[in-house]
Chain A
Amino acid sequence: KAGVTQTPRYLIKTRGQQVTLSCSPISGHRSVSWYQQTPGQGLQFLFEYFSETQRNKGNFPGRFSGRQFSNSRSEMNVSTLELGDSALYLCASSLGLAGYEQFFGPGTRLTVL
């Protein structure tokens, strides 16, 4: 069974631009969670989607949004990029609602110049 895939793996953007990251969960998994990882703040929860509905959202500004499609694939969008948005964005999938085992993708490294 293929693991969680994330595209693109690397991305360079400039301040003020917007970006869309994609995550394909493990086949059969219906929950997708997103995390931001930075050296200063560590790993922080962004949001979780289950059956195309956002079930939970972390403490991030409204510039961060996401969605989930009927095939469980998820996208995350960040608008009006700031330097502080530079981070590794990790996606994790699980069978049920943030089930007790989450499988992570390799991440997307976003650099904002």
Chain B
Amino acid sequence: AQTVTQSQPEMSVQEAETVTLSCTYDTSESDYYLFWYKQPPSRQMILVIRQEAYKQQNATENRFSVNFQKAAKSFSLKISDSQLGDAAMYFCAYRVSAGAGSYQLTFGKGTKLSVIP
């Protein structure tokens, strides 16, 4: 079974500092997608960043970047210049093939990020 593990249930960061959230996954597939989603207290899940496994270059979206280590099955999220609005639950997710062209997302348990003013 495909699993996604986020080993840090909670983390905190000082405003304007950098924080890294960890994620590891288990898969036997060679081509797949990985995602980081953010869920603020409003509960709306928002896609932060995605990474295609076939791409060696790490994805970057403004202050958010990933460190994708395919061999180690590691996919960490780095948030630079942290802002108060970054406070949220962050979920790592893996897109799993379910056969017949269908896919589903498997999520980690999440990391609650607090930003200290």
Q: Do A and B bind each other?
A: yes
**Interface locus among B12-20, B55-63, B94-102:** B94-102
Taken residue by residue from 34 to 59, chain A's Cβ proximity to chain B (1 for < 8 Å, 0 otherwise) reads as 01000000110100101000011010
Whether A107 sits at the interface, judged by CB under 8 Å, is yes
Residue of A nearest to B106 (CB): A45
| A33 interface residue (CB < 8 Å to B) | yes
Bound Cα distance from A59 to B5, whole angstroms:
19
Distance in Å: Cβ of B22 to nearest Cβ of chain A: 16
Instruction: Name the interface residues of B77-117: CB closer than 8 Å to any CB of A.
Output: 91, 95, 98-110
Q: Please, how many residues of chain B have a CB less than 8 angstroms from a CB on the other chain? A: 25
B33→A56 contact, CB < 8 A: no
Q: Encode contact with B along A94-113: 1 for CB under 8 Å, 0 otherwise.
A: 00011011111111010000
A42 to B39 alpha-carbon distance, docked (Å): 12
Instruction: Specify which of B45, B52, B106 is in contact with A104 (CB 8 Å cutoff).
Output: B45
Residues of A within 8 A of B103 (CB): 48, 56, 97-98
User: What number of A residues sit within 8 Å (CB to CB) of B?
Assistant: 24
Chain A residues whose CB sits within 8 angstroms of the CB of B107 once the complex forms: 35, 42-43
Q: Which residues of A contact B106 (CB under 8 A)?
A: 45
Query: Which chain A positions have C-beta within 8 A of B101?
Result: 55, 97
Which positions in B face A, CB cutoff 8 Å?
33, 37, 42-47, 50, 52, 91, 95, 98-110
What are 18 inter-chain pairs, A to B, with CB distance below 8 A?
A33-B105, A35-B105, A35-B107, A48-B102, A50-B102, A55-B102, A56-B99, A92-B45, A97-B101, A98-B98, A98-B103, A100-B50, A101-B50, A102-B47, A102-B105, A103-B47, A104-B37, A104-B45
